[in-house]
Amino acid sequence: MRIINLKKQLGRFSIDIPYLALAKGCIHGFIGENGSGKTTTAKLIANILQPDEGQILYDGLEPRSITMSSQKPYMLHTSVYENLIYPLKIRNIKPDEKAIDAMLQKYDLYEKKKQYARSLSSGEQQKLSLLRTLIFQPEFVIVDETLSNLSAESLELFENLIWEIQKKRCITWVLISHQPHIINELCDTVHFFSNGRLIESGRKEQVFLHSQNPIVKTYVQRQAFGLLKEG
Ligand SMILES: Nc1ncnc2c1ncn2[C@@H]1O[C@H](COP(=O)(O)OP(=O)(O)O)[C@@H](O)[C@H]1O
Ligand SMILES: [Mg+2]
């Protein structure tokens, strides 16, 4: 997928990205401060927002095979199960009940299958939202901060799930996270946003260790300092 001369004005904030390439089959990370335009860019890619100018070239990817798990998951007013199979329903795909039960077991949601989804804890809603995003075997998946609020145990399960999917089908991912260890563990390529602009794109080692951009350098140093404090 390629973005060319993409512009979007939202109030006083603007996105302006002359060029961004998201190579197929890679795990990409979007990083940058709060309010730097990561979510807005992701919504433009996922066709949730329309650009004012410019183009997104999907290079053969079908719009229906792109999906995004939101920062704040939206739960339908129904059960865990109905939420989970919703993407299948709208695509007229028959759910494989056995596989779904096994999935719910694995992610500790089986006991809650019939429970009202909005009564789940926020961590459980995040898990459900991720499973719902992946259930129809999409080709391009955007995960907007959804991994950030999981318990260490659930995060590990999802990291393993991502690796499993990559081994089998090698799809394209965009992971948006303010937590550098998640990006560091999973991503091949990192795209750094600042004030609606893409200020650096490259291999994660290049961006994290060798960036010459003062904004990127400051961010990385501050994150490293945060890790020291946490550790
Ligand atoms: N509909 C909107 N109207 C006005 N401003 C908006 C709208 N949506 C987002 N913004 C602003 O755009 C900026 C970028 O937001 P966002 O893309 O969510 O950043 P990030 O995901 O990097 O934290 C923020 O300052 C936000 O307040
Ligand atoms: Mg965001």
Which pLDDT score is estimated for 16? Answer: 98
Q: Whose Cα sits closest to atom 25 in ligand 1? A: 35
- Residue pLDDT, tens place only, 91-132: 999 999 999 999 999 999 999 999 999 999 988 999 999 999
Distance 39 CA to ligand 1 centre (A): 7
- pLDDT per position as a tens digit, 5-33: 999 999 999 999 999 999 999 999 999 99
pLDDT of residue 220: 87
Between the CA of 40 and the centroid of ligand 1 the distance, in Å, is 6
Cα–ligand 1 centroid distance for 214 (angstroms): 23
pLDDT attached to residue 230: 55
Residue of 13, 143, 178 with the most ligand 1 atoms within 8 Å of its CB, for mutation:
13
Please report the atom of ligand 1 found closest to the CA of residue 144: 21
Pocket of ligand 1 (CB under 6 A): 10-11, 13, 32, 34-40, 193
Q: Closest-lying ligand to the alpha carbon of 198?
A: 1
CA of 72 to the centre of ligand 1 (A): 14
Q: What is the mean pLDDT of the chain?
A: 93
The pTM score is 0.93
Closest ligand 1 atom to residue 41 Cα is 17
Q: Which residues surround ligand 2, an ion (CB under 5 A)?
A: 39
User: For a pLDDT cut of 90, what percent of the chain falls above it?
Assistant: 81
CB 228 within 8 A of CB 211: no
At residue 81, what are phi and psi to the nearest 5 degrees? -60, -50
Domain boundaries, the chain: 2-230
Own/partner pairs for 112-119, CB < 8 Å, 24+ apart? 112/80, 113/79, 113/80, 113/81, 114/79, 114/80, 114/81, 115/79, 115/80, 116/77, 116/78, 116/79, 117/75, 117/76, 117/77, 117/78, 117/79, 117/80, 117/82, 117/83, 118/75, 118/77
Q: CATH classification of 2-230, choosing from 3.40.50.300, 1.10.3210.10, 3.40.50.10610, 3.90.550.10? A: 3.40.50.300
- Ligand that comes closest to the CA of residue 191: 1
Cα of 19 from ligand 1 centre, angstroms? 20
pLDDT of residue 147: 85
Task: Give the per-residue pLDDT at 228.
Answer: 61
pLDDT tens-digit map of 151-192: 888 899 999 999 999 999 999 999 998 887 888 889 999 999
